Amino acid sequence: MKNTEMPELTADSEEGFVDLCLKMEGLVCDRDGMYRFEARVLHQGRPVAFAVVLGATWKPQELEGTTELLYWGEVRLSSLGSESDAFVRALDQLYETKVSVSRKRGDIEFTAVSLEGHPLRLAAEPLKMKLFFEADTDELYAEFYLNCDSHKNGVQFHEKDPEYRRAVVLALAQNAG
C-alpha cells in the first residue's frame, strides 16, 4: 500500500488519555485458530506498525452476577522491523515518557482478557481486550486496551491509565536509555 493511501496516526487526548487509532491489515486465521494481523498507520509521514497474534486457547470465566463470560488467553505483539521501532518511538513521544527508545522488542507476550467479543471470532465480531504485561517489579507492570474491529479495519491502542505510560513503553522497547 502506498503511503498516500495510509491514514495518519490519530491520537485522541480526551480527559488526559492518549488513545491511538490504527488500520488493520492482512487478517488471517491459521489452522490452529490463531488470528494474525498488522496494525499500520503513518506518523509524521512515516509508516509505523506492529503485528498482533491472538492465541488459539481462550479460557472462559463467568462474570460474577451475570451470564456474561470473559475470555482469558495470550496476545503477542511482534515486530515488523523498522516500522515497529518507529511505532514505539512514536508512543514514547506521544506519551511524553522520554524513555529514548531505540527499537521494539521482537515478540512480547501479554496476558489478555476479552471484555467484549470472543477472540476466536475476530473475523465476525469486534473484540475489546485488556492486555497485561507481567513484570517482577511494580514499576514495570503495565496494562492497556487493544480493540480490534475487522469490519471497520480498525485497531485501537488505548491507555488504561496514564500512570502505566512508562511501563508500556518499557515493555515494548528492546533498548531504552
**Cβ-contact 76, 91 below 8 angstroms:** no
Q: How far is 8 from 3, CA to CA, in rounded Å? A: 9
Residue 95 pLDDT more than 70?
yes
Q: Is the pLDDT higher at 105 or at 80?
A: 80
Torsion sign, CA atoms 55, 60, 63, 66:
positive
Q: Give residue-wise pLDDT tens across range 17-68.
A: 889 999 999 999 999 889 999 999 999 999 999 999 999 999 999 888 888 8
Please give the mean pLDDT across all residues of the chain: 91
Neighbours of 62 (CB within 10 A): 10
Non-local CB neighbours of 81 within 8 Å, separated by 6+ positions: none
Q: How many CA atoms lie within 13 A of 86 on its CB side?
A: 16
Residue 177 pLDDT more than 60?
no
Q: Is the pLDDT higher at 68 or at 78?
A: 78
